[in-house]
Amino acid sequence: MRRLVAETRLHPAELVLPLFVREGLTDPRPITTMPGVVQHSRDSLRAAVVAAAETGVGGVMLFGVPDHRDANGSGATDPDGVLNLALRDVVKDVGDAIVVMADLCLDEFTDHGHCGVLAADGSVDNDATLDRYAEMALVQADAGAHVVGPSGMMDGQVAAIRSALDATGRMDVAILAYAVKYASSSFGPFRTAVESTLVGDRRTYQQDPANALEALREVSLDLAEGADLVMVKPALGYLDVVRRVADAVDVPVAAYQVSGEYAMVEHAAAAGAIDRDAAILESLTSIRRAGASIVLTYWATEVAGWLSTPGT
């Protein structure tokens, strides 16, 4: 009866699996801060994407972890860089069976760990960064990405990327704008996963957790610049923002259940404090109930398997 009258449902096609691929690995490497999540080798990444597709997961979001980093994040635009090679690998394997998304940001590729190139005074140079994002978008599109996900929170990033893609005939590549990305403590395990070199913080370009109207302004700007989808990140601490964004727009709204949100459930469950599986389903249902039509979660493949079981 409860299943019959449920107002909110989960479906594998609404889930996106974030994945990390580490240059130089021959076997997956566990991420200590995220139990059950690994840095993949190119081969293990391919297997993980195929498994996600076979369980009906809607998409994957790829993050690259390079061996070498420099001030301009040159590895991000190297066609033979780890992320771009990984995109070619998985698109060759799965084609259009699953949506292949690429994180479009410089932070994993810069030696200073910021999401953009730096000015002489050490601040992030917004406009110079836009040029790098446009280059990155073209390389990712050439590698086969169906969707690019600009996550750096630079002003004008969507317009710069859309203009570059359209000018080269890549109108078919969609933009998932990280329109609402808060300066959150919940990103900590992710920074371990990508071996971040960041010193300081990103509060000059990520949003203040105290603000919600600012989120709506950022969404409006990204849509005006050509975003096809918009994202709220993190998810669980910002369900009110997810709801407000979903009510305000007529494009799909994604929410990213980030590394810290994942790790809290896993660690609490390991300590015997909560029922792991129930907590996972409850958290994902709450994100969908708040209005997200797409949920990025590290449990995507596992949960998709559960959802294919009658009575789940």
Computed from CA positions of residues 105, 108, 109, 114, in that sequence, does the dihedral angle turn out positive or negative? positive
Q: Decide: 235 and 292 in contact? Cβ < 8 Å.
A: yes
Q: Decide: 231 and 297 in contact? Cβ < 8 Å.
A: no
The yes-or-no answer on residue 92 being catalytic is no
* Residue 117, CA distances (Å) to 149, 187, 275, 301 in order: 18, 21, 44, 35
How far apart CA 86 and CA 132 sit, in angstroms, is 20
Q: Decide: 118 and 145 in contact? Cβ < 8 Å.
A: no
The catalytically annotated residue of 22, 42, 146, 181 is 181
The yes-or-no answer on residue 233 being catalytic is yes
* Exposed e or buried b per residue across 176-215, where buried means at least 16 C-beta atoms within 10 angstroms of its C-beta: bbbbbbbebebbebbbbbbebeeeeebeebbbeeeeeeeb
How far apart CA 109 and CA 68 sit, in angstroms, is 8
How far apart CA 78 and CA 37 sit, in angstroms, is 26
Residue 277 burial (CB count, 10 A): 15
How far apart CA 262 and CA 265 sit, in angstroms, is 6
Q: How far is CA 60 from the centre of its chain?
A: 9
The catalytically annotated residue of 146, 233, 244, 288 is 233
DSSP string spanning 238-255?
A: GHHHHHHHHHH-SS-EEE
The residues near 298 (Cβ < 8 Å, ≥ 6 apart) are 17, 18, 34, 36, 37, 257, 259, 262
Helices 276-289 and 300-307: angle between axes, nearest 10 degrees:
90
- Catalytic positions, please? 181, 233
